[in-house]
Structure 1
Amino acid sequence: MKKVVLLVALASVVWSCSKTEDVVEIVPDPPKELALDNTIAIKWAEATLYHIKHQPNNSPTYLSRALGYVGLTMYESIAPGSIEYKSIATELNGLGALPMPADAKKIDWETSLNAGQAYIIKKMWFNSHSIYNTRIDSLETAIEKERLLAVKDSSIITNSKKYGISIAEKIYQWSVNDGGHQGNLNVQDMNYMYPQGLGFWSPPFGGQAALPYPMHPKWGQNRTFIKASSEIPVPEALKYSTDKSSAYYKEFKEVYDITLGLTQEQKEIALWWGDDPAVSAAPPGHSYNLGKLLIAQQKVNLFKAAETFAKVGMSVADAFICCFKVKYTYHSERPTGYIRRNINGSFNQFWPEPPFPAFTSGHSTQAAANATVLISVFGNEVTFEDNTHVGRPKDEFRNVEFKKRTFTKIWDTALECGISRLYGGIHTSQDNTLGLEMGKTIGESINKLSWKVK
């Protein structure tokens, strides 16, 4: 009996030794993105647009450049705090690596963004009236106080502020050598020698600008944010002709016919996208505001909001460099002169002419670049309202009120912005079509940057 028990016991020991026990592996939770809302980004976008609108010597060229640096600074000042996004600085045209925090966990990213925005905006408009700089300072102080109450550690706030400024400082230093530094102090060039003769543009009297001198004729030589933007070939323009069967003549005849039969809605579209720098934030500001509206509506987090503003800012900046390169390559005339010489001597365009050549359209180029980058963030199928000019007084001379416009696709903003210049009588279809194509290419290059961690 004892022998049997012993054998059973030995079998039990062997079984227990050979059994493969289940191993419980404790897997840590995957890291999560910081839950930062977009409030601070929207506040700074609104402050930027207000600041832009009230600066002297506004031009779409300089404003686009400034928004490029402001948007990029917003993004880079918080990118190291994200597990999804990363710095794109080394992929830009000569910027190089930016400072990294010694310990990202000891940075309050809202404070970093706040300090960086205040610094770069004041640097972009260093000669701004003290009233407007005071508004920037007040916003920065108010947000800093809010963050101190939330963080409850003054050393973190101090370190975060220093970090945001270090990013803005490096980006500003890079900006100084781009060819457009302080371009708002010398918008029109009275010494520029532009070609004379049929088919060539000359500065208009009684146009948008008070003085009949060309705006930023050398802007196309500026450094682009994305190297690929500078490598886009100059598109071929139609050759001048007065032959009624020629493509050139038909382009201008189309503008003439459209102007004669403008509907009320077409007039509203022409004014909505007019974005006169004297009374608005110009076309680049309109694009920046579209980004802000979508950010608010879609309730994206702070990192995606900053990505949006960086993409929008750089896209409109490169768009104006590229299209001004084309403008001052061809010095193409605008419709009014040609139409008066060859179709109807008493023709008047609906919208006043800006002080730079026609081909290609700046509106179309920047609108397409902007729509392309916005689609990369939000998708194309988005219904939203553009309220950029709501609240402006009625244009009594043209009998047009500024009513919000509704879109169901982001790309439709580019199409409408482009066609608005034909309705205004200041661009032909080739100006618009090739501008849209160039803008789309610019936006696609910006989208290809390594925005996210793989």
Structure 2
Amino acid sequence: MKNKIQRLFLAMLVMVSVIACQDNNNYHEVIKDGDYLIAAQLKLTDVIIHDIFSPPVASRIYAYPAIAAFEVAALADPSYRSFMGQLNRFEKAEFEPSEDIYYPLASLAAYYKVGTAMIFSENLVQEHKEKAFKEIREKGVPKKVFDRSVAFGEQVADHVIAYSKKDNYHESRSFEKYTVKSDAYTWQPTPPAYMEGIEPHWNKIRPFFLQSADQFKSVPPTDFSTDPSSQFYKEADEVFTIVKNLSDEQKDIAMFWDCNPYKVNVKGHVMFAEKKITPGGHWMGIAAIASKTAGQDWKGTAETLAYTSIAIFDAFIACWDEKYRSILIRPETYINKYIDEDWLPLLQTPPFPEYTSGHSVASNAAAEALKKLFGEPFHFVDSTEVAYGLPIREFDSFRQAADEAAISRLYGGIHYMPAIVNGATKGQNLGLFLNEKVITKSQNLAKVNE
């Protein structure tokens, strides 16, 4: 009996020693890269698809969690500059972290808390967070450090959540729905679901860095006409002709950049949705891939996700401002009425007005943001769509990817060329303005002051 007690005592000593070693090893090496943040974003993408958020709303869901994660990075490293005082009405707040805060964990905690506040299916993000936190804790982060770090990250998250609640989003949920107009040039709901116009008041959402939603107002679309000799008819006929004669490569490009979360399939009398990533989600995926390709640490990853997301968010505000000003008819509606009643676009037409192309605006804004962070040329393998059954595509620059995303809308049959060209211009100008106005690293301040 005595020997048995001694053996049990020794076993307990060994167990305590192991736990002590786990809590006292170099836990600062547990999170070095941005993998945990990228995994959190991927989960957020899954939930955005699951909850079927529109492209503009999805851009908001990506932005605020990324901002919160970056704010922790800026507190951890003085070479980074906080968004507070830079983004519109993002007031400065004082945070006093203790010496034993593990900042990478705090950044992740901030991301998860804000992300959970942005979506419907909170349990899905919560489960993902708990799994990630359990893994981090088991890798040896001391419990006191762990708890204080999570609490600190959530404190930063609370400040960002308070900021998000003043962007007019919640108020806009009760705004009037779009009323379809009878004018011949105006947008009409399209088959097969004939959905109502999405987010007609998105230009009333507070932007992050734009001075107003119409700061980069596009030139008006081509004057509407049904005359076969008119410019508008020719633009519609261009869409009609190209879609009828697409090469396999053009079809692949169109499908790769489809990014329509509202695609509805009809089989007989049954109608069901096919859930897809949004344009913003695709580019946030590219941002994560670029960060991984460049070998960024967790702070650089937080910067990349945050900076790209604010570009995309403001891009959708600027784009939607134009969509519901011009409320232009889609190619599918025009072609079926004036050229060929049996014609179908390759891609399903999204439920909002045509001008300008959302993917063209958002892609070019994101590309300019990523160009600033990584430079060009920058080769990357875009595997964003692999999870949705599509192959990879490779690009030698963000500009090449943005150009392909824009022209995909012509191949898909859902936009006329002016919406693509002028949308790209809007996105580029918006991205360049972001690069001039918002600074994420202190070393870049000199460039702004020159």
Same fold (TM over 0.5): yes
Q: How does 1:113-132 map to 2 (within 5 A)?
A: 113-125=107-119, 127-128=120-121, 130=123, 132=124
Find the aligned partners of 1:239 and 1:45 in 2 and give their Cα distance. 42
Contact 2:33 2:297 in 1 (8 A): yes
Matched-pair contact (CA < 8 Å) for 2:177–2:200: no
Report whether the alignment pairs 1:199 with 2:185: yes
Residue aligning to 1:268: 252
Are residues 1:110 and 2:94 paired? no
Alpha-carbon spacing, 1:446–1:233, altered in 2? closer, same or farther (3 Å): closer
Aligned-residue offset at 1:196: 1.6
Please tell me whether the aligned partners of residues 61 and 317 of structure 1 are also in contact (alpha carbons under 8 angstroms).
yes
The answer on whether the counterparts of 1:99 and 1:166 sit within 8 Å (CA) in structure 2 is no
The change in CA–CA distance for 1:46 and 1:111 in structure 2 (over 3 A counts) is: same
Mapping of residues 346-357 of structure 1, within 5 Å: 346-357=342-353
**Alignment correspondent of 1:424:** 412
Shift of residue 137 of structure 1? 3.3
- Matched with 1:287 is 283
How far, CA to CA, are the matches of 1:115 and 1:405 in structure 2? 33
Measure, in 1, the Cα distance between the counterparts of 2:188 and 2:387. Answer: 35
Which of residues 321, 329, 332 is equivalent to 1:333? 329
Give how far 1:384 is off.
1.4
- The answer to whether residue 292 in structure 2 is matched with residue 296 in structure 1 is yes
The secondary structure found in structure 2 opposite 1:92 is: coil
Deviations 1:110-152 (A, max 9, x none): 1211210110111001x3163x1442332342255157x14x3
TM-score, scaled to structure 1: 0.83
Q: Does 1:48 align with 2:44?
A: yes
Find the aligned partners of 1:134 and 1:225 in 2 and give their Cα distance: 27
Q: How many residues align?
A: 400
Instruction: Write the distance in 2 (CA, Å) between the matches of 1:61 and 1:257.
Output: 31
Aligned Cα RMSD in Å? Answer: 2.3
For 2:295 and 2:171, locate their aligned partners in 1 and report how far apart those are by CA, in whole Å: 35
**Match for residue 9 of structure 1?**
none
Shift of residue 58, structure 1, vs aligned partner: 2.0
Distance 1:50 1:146, change over 3 A: farther
**Equivalent in the alignment of 1:72:** 67
Aligned match of 2:428: 440
1:256 equivalent in alignment to 2:240: yes
> Relative to 1, partners in 2 of residues 1:114 and 1:342: Cα closer, same or farther, differing over 3 Å?
same
Shift of the alpha carbon at 1:386? 0.8
Distance in structure 2 (CA, Å) of the matches to 1:120 and 1:88: 16
**Distance (whole Å) between structure 2 residues aligned to residue 421 and residue 406 of structure 1:** 19
Offset, 1:39 = 2.6
1:410 and 2:398 equivalent? yes
> Any unmatched runs of 5+ in structure 2?
1-30, 262-273, 444-450
Letter in 2 for 1:310: A
Counterpart in the other structure of 1:20: none
Cα shift readout 1:20-48 (whole Å, capped 9, x = no counterpart): xxxxxxxxxxxxxxx94223222222222
What is the distance in 2 between the residues matched to 1:75 and 1:371?
A: 20
In structure 2, the CA distance between the partners of 1:345 and 1:435, relative to structure 1 (3 Å rule), is same
- Structure 2 length-normalised TM: 0.83
Change (3 A) 1:50 1:345: closer
Counterpart for residue 155 of structure 1: 144
What residue identity is the alignment partner of 1:137? K
Question: What SS does the aligned partner of 1:228 have?
Answer: coil
Moved more, 404-413 or 37-46: 37-46
**Structure 2 matches for 1:179-218, cutoff 5 A?**
179-181=168-170, 191-206=177-192, 210=193, 212-218=195-201
1:16-95 residue pairs with structure 2 within 5 A? 36-55=32-51, 57-95=52-90
Q: How does 1:287-326 map to 2 (within 5 A)?
A: 287-326=283-322
Aligned to 1:138: 130
Q: CA deviation at 1:406?
A: 0.9
Q: 1:100 & 1:245 partners in 2: Cα distance?
A: 65
1:405/1:181 Cα in 2 relative to 1: closer, same or farther (>3 Å)?
same
Q: Tell which structure's C-alpha radius of gyration is larger.
A: 1
**1:328 positional shift:** 0.4
Percent of pairs with identical residues: 27
Checking the alignment, whether the CA contact within 8 Å between 2:225 and 2:232 is kept in structure 1 is yes
* Structure 1 residue 74, shift from structure 2 partner: 1.4
